[in-house]
Amino acid sequence: MNLHQMQALKRWHVVHRDDHPVEYRVYDAVLTAWVLGWVGVPAALLLAPWHLMPLCLLCSLAPELYVSWRARMHERHRLRCDWLDALARADR
């Protein structure tokens, strides 16, 4: 995912915050994990808590993992994902 796609998803969640409050909070948590992952990598390199490096790298991939998981669940008709259209429009 690039920043333009992440911005489009965040914009969709802000606009639909009242209709989908849980999704709004979950995506905020995903973005928080993403920021913590990127901040944690330099800290892990400088302070040498090497055991946290895999967690930081996993967190830095949080938006991509979340979007791919939600898209798969949408395709299987287990969860409805209304913001996939916003993501597809951001790709163009």
Using the predicted structure, report yes or no on whether residue 42 has a pLDDT greater than 90: no
Mean pLDDT of 79-86: 88
Number of structural domains found in the chain: 1
| CA–CA distance, 63 with 4 (Å, rounded to integer) | 12
Using the predicted structure, report yes or no on whether residue 76 has a pLDDT greater than 80: yes
Mean pLDDT of 47-60: 88
Mean pLDDT of 26-54: 90
Parent domain of 67: 3-91
The pLDDT value recorded for residue 88 is: 82
